[in-house]
Structure 1
Amino acid sequence: FSNNWKYFYDGIQRANGAIVNIPLKSPSADDKKARYVAEAKFLRAYFYMRLNQLWHGVPVYLKPFSADEATKGRETEDSVWRVVINDLTDCISEPNLPAKYGKGNANYGHITKGAAYALRGKAYLYTKNYPAAAADFAQVEAAGYTLFNGDY
């Protein structure tokens, strides 16, 4: 479990760095920078989701921090879910993030609105907000995602 803690907070630290620094320092076009920030928020939400699933409340850092600054107390489980849902809502609201990438697209495999809806739907299940979860899962289907039709 200590490795999970370390790896997830390392991912959070990297996502925080991207969220803060991409708009300030990247020479990319604004639409590309906005898409990358949305992707970083998705990743931060994923890491906090996994931490919350394991520990039911963890310290929350939404900006880059040093080892000496890593002294925050534990947040409640509900407040961590709010962070997860807020980050995923920001991701979904980003107009430069597509619903889905088609095969052959250079960004195929990157984060999409469909993935953000799926992860937010899962967070809503954990918070027992079943109508919101069902609505998000319907958006995953509307984005063009389907279950694998292979022969098991």
Structure 2
Amino acid sequence: MTAFAVKQRYIQNLPKYLTLCEHNYLRALKLLPSDREVGSARDVQLGNNQFTIKVDGCAKYTMDISIRQLTGMLKGFNPLFLTVRLYHDAKVAEIVHHDYHQRIKPSYGYPNPQMHQKDEKYQLNAFLYDWLVACVESGRAVLNWDVDNGLV
């Protein structure tokens, strides 16, 4: 009798992912520029690294922001660049682009030529969560604490 290895696809835990995106949304609101118009930006100092958060686009229910590393880059590594979309109706935020690459797929087959992880979208948004927590708790910037826009 021969045993066949069944290759299982990665299935994302949707409640866990949405909870992560909800946390990202609330923290991202605190770091947005005060006027929240297209082109407005806010600088955040985190340790020896400086980042800028810029509003790239606004629509009725969404807002696109970019997070770009300005200083503190390590030699041989690309500076951080993320495009994050905030969905105001669902109150979630997720990364849609990273490091100038194409859109992030919900999951990837493994192995793949680009060496993406099966759960790369979740991992990137978990990184965004950690980065936002570090900025809110330890970063140096004037934060928007007035998030009483129907959230609280």
Q: TM-score normalised to the size of structure 2?
A: 0.28
Task: Tell me which of the two structures has the higher relative contact order, counting C-alpha pairs closer than 8 angstroms and 6 or more residues apart.
Answer: 2
Over alpha carbons, which structure has the higher Rg?
2
Higher percent of residues as helix: 1
Q: TM-score normalised to the size of structure 1?
A: 0.28
